[in-house]
Structure 1
């Protein structure tokens, strides 16, 4: 059952990547990637925070972690129902969303909303400068 779920997430991420590449107007993937993240830039600390009191598990998935639901879990804070994680990101623009309890997608209420992905997940946009 878990493998089927992971296969679904992988398919959804692949579809999202295809749409993003298609919407780039035919620009080669290497140009798109270099526009998003400058490889020679120093990383910056970015703290993501989500209030989700009824959750037992929260993760963030985005183009900074290859949309891997297991790569970036948030940790509960001392503040009841608040989850947080600190990322080290290079300057650039990132699309991401939170995954609650492995089944519910939620955008970051503190960041502007981007278009929903092709698989229906609400996405947020983060700009690191």
Structure 2
């Protein structure tokens, strides 16, 4: 057989008598055909067992995929929660600093001494001078 067409004709013509599919090393199509023929030649009991094993295999794949997706979703939720908590914490800290600066500026405008402002707000004298 030189062409794929000739190979197909040969295989289809001699399928019942072939123990092993020819040309498998040369064409992957014939390997797939060999698997189909093997499954088709199973007895009723063997086919039931085969179908059950395929079902178990597919169920395991689906279960693993679901667990993976669930893990990703849970990780995403946890990551978002952590990010929000960190963002809120950082925002509160920045807000406190800004509030201290605002109070220090008001005290400075009222003419209070820098040392008193520093003592009340916790800001350094150089920060108060920079306001």
TM-score of the aligned structures, taking structure 1 as reference length: 0.21
More helix by share: 2
User: Greater Rg, structure 1 or structure 2?
Assistant: 2
Determine which structure has the larger strand proportion and give its number. Answer: 1
Structure showing greater relative contact order (alpha-carbon pairs closer than 8 Å, 6 or more residues apart): 1
**TM-score using structure 2 length:** 0.20
